[in-house]
């Protein structure tokens, strides 16, 4: 069986970092796109919405465990070998648009174009804050 990593590492930051054993090959920043909202305006009431929210929370839990891992390494830098470790900034783009459970299966070209446009708008704001 194959799983998408939601309950283990999502995204697999620790595995990604192992690919760069030396500090000079590690990235200065990691950019994440968080597609599951951290909070919702309205409490889910329908069964499908409750299950969807449960999945969102599970995804966010593993995401934040991975981010916290990097934060711990960053905090331990004074005690770690400088040739293997360096400070890595984590930057995040959050999905601020609320979508329902059915949106995960929506393959309409118009919806996909709408999501691309939304993502491009979020990216522009993100990039302005980075520079």
Dump pLDDT digits (tens) for 74-109.
999 999 999 999 999 999 888 888 887 788 889 999
Residue 1 domain-assigned (yes or no): no
Residue 61 domain-assigned (yes or no): yes
Residue 64 domain-assigned (yes or no): yes
pLDDT of residue 104: 82
**Residue 58 domain boundaries:** 13-130
- Average pLDDT in the 119-123 region? 90
Domain count, the chain: 1
Q: What percent of the chain has pLDDT over 90?
A: 41
pLDDT of residue 12: 81
Residue 6 domain-assigned (yes or no): no
Cis peptide before 10 (omega within 30 of 0): no
Residue 65 domain-assigned (yes or no): yes
Residue 5 domain-assigned (yes or no): no
Residue 4 domain-assigned (yes or no): no
Closest alpha carbon to 54 in 67, 43, 69: 43
C-alpha distances (whole Å) from 2 to each of 5, 16, 46 are 9, 19, 29
pLDDT of residue 5: 55
């Amino acid at each position: 069986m194959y799983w998408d990593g939601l309950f283990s590492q999502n995204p697999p930051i620790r595995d990604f970092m192992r690919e760069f054993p030396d500090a000079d090959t590690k990235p200065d920043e990691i950019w994440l796109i968080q597609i599951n909202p951290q909070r919702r305006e309205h409490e889910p009431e329908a069964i499908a919405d409750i299950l969807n929210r449960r999945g969102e929370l599970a995804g966010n839990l593993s995401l934040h465990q991975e981010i916290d891992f990097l934060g711990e390494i960053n905090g331990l830098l004074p005690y770690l070998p400088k040739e293997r470790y360096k400070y890595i900034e984590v930057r995040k783009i959050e999905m601020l648009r609320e979508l329902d459970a059915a949106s995960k299966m929506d393959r309409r070209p118009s919806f996909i174009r709408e999501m691309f446009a939304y993502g491009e708008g979020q990216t522009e704001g993100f990039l302005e804050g980075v520079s």
